[in-house]
Amino acid sequence: MNPAIPPPRFTDPAVFGRVAVLMGGTSTEREVSLNSGQGVLDALRSRGVDAHAVDGIPALVDDIRAGQVDRVFNILHGNKGGGEDGVVQGLLDALGVAYTGPGVLGSALTMDKIRTKQVWIAEGLPTPRFVRVPAGGGPGSSPAQVLRAAVAELGFPVFVKPSSEGSSVGVFRILAEADLAPAVEFASGYAGELLAEQMVQGEEYTVGILGDLALPSIRIVPAGEWYDYHAKYIADDTQYLCPGMVGDDEAAIRALALAAFRAAGCTGWGRVDVMRDRVRGLQLIEVNTAPGMTSHSLVPKAAAQVGIDYADLCWRVLEQTLPEARA
């Protein structure tokens, strides 16, 4: 099932020059990014790469101006000071500095769950029904009123979540009317767009992407009722089954993930979250363009299944910043 994995194209760490591992920042995912960044930094240094930590975009600009950066390993998470919304990608493109992960288009688009789903729908790719809840509500309506109407249109059960956040920040699982109050309260104070999304009732999977390769799927089995922030980053009892499927099913989920990644304008590396509904089959949920690289993270788990250890994964991701590797 697994394709042959070619060896890294380069063996001399000097080809990378001075590498800034961009982490931290000011998004809601700062702490996760710092944990990911430290892992990447340690791994690159263990392979002899001249890597140093940079906390946030302003510090990166200072280092670039000082001539201390040849390329960037971007492990910032989120938006508004994170590195997944296209802002840092545009900055680095303008300054002529190579970086890991998708470019401006893929990063900006996939940070916005609503627009990503609109692209997938236009491409005929499966994703759950949703209703957009505009920032500020609508004409004559508050966000709370629009949210209640959206949930009523979709019917229970639903998820309510911000369109442009990650790591399960601000996500509400609503099974019945009694569960609505916390989501309504959040909507009343949240400045951005939300979406109400038809809940997929079935198994949860994720597929890592490395260049043109879809890594083995991972089936996520949390000890609790769903895969929330605690299950992602804190709990030690979440099960990760890799590969998550077998045979034709495994081939199908990998092909779908790669198609979804490309449809959203993404290149490089990332992660596509997928669920398998008991009735509707595979359903695309979202794309992560700077996936977590903590001890609980999923892309390293999938890479290990095809013989790519953590340090080798970091090396291969960094290789993609070299023009020779993209030829």
Between CA 253 and CA 264 the distance in angstroms is: 17
Between CA 270 and CA 140 the distance in angstroms is: 40
- Name the pLDDT band for 254 (thresholds 50, 70, 90): very high
The DSSP bridge pattern shows strands 98-99 and 71-74 to be parallel
Report the DSSP beta bridge partners of residue 51: 19
Q: Are residues 84 and 49 in the same domain?
A: yes
CA atoms within 13 A on the CB side of 167: 24
Q: Are residues 117 and 244 in the same domain?
A: yes
Task: Tell whether pTM > 0.75.
Answer: yes
The pLDDT assigned to 204 comes to 95
Q: Are residues 188 and 219 in the same domain?
A: no
**Could you give the number of structural domains in the chain?**
3
Q: Are residues 213 and 170 in the same domain?
A: no
Question: Cα torsion for 259, 261, 267, 273, to the nearest 10°?
Answer: -140
List, by residue number, the catalytic residues: 29, 167, 233, 271, 273, 286, 288, 292
Tell me the mean pLDDT in the region 253-282.
97
Mean pLDDT of the chain: 91
The pLDDT assigned to 326 comes to 44
Domain range spanning residue 149?
A: 130-198
The token pair at 278 is 């008991």
pLDDT tens for 26-43 read 988 899 899 999 999 999
Q: Alpha-carbon Rg of the chain, whole angstroms?
A: 20
Q: What is the CATH number of the domain that holds 73?
A: 3.40.50.20
Q: Are residues 231 and 165 in the same domain?
A: no
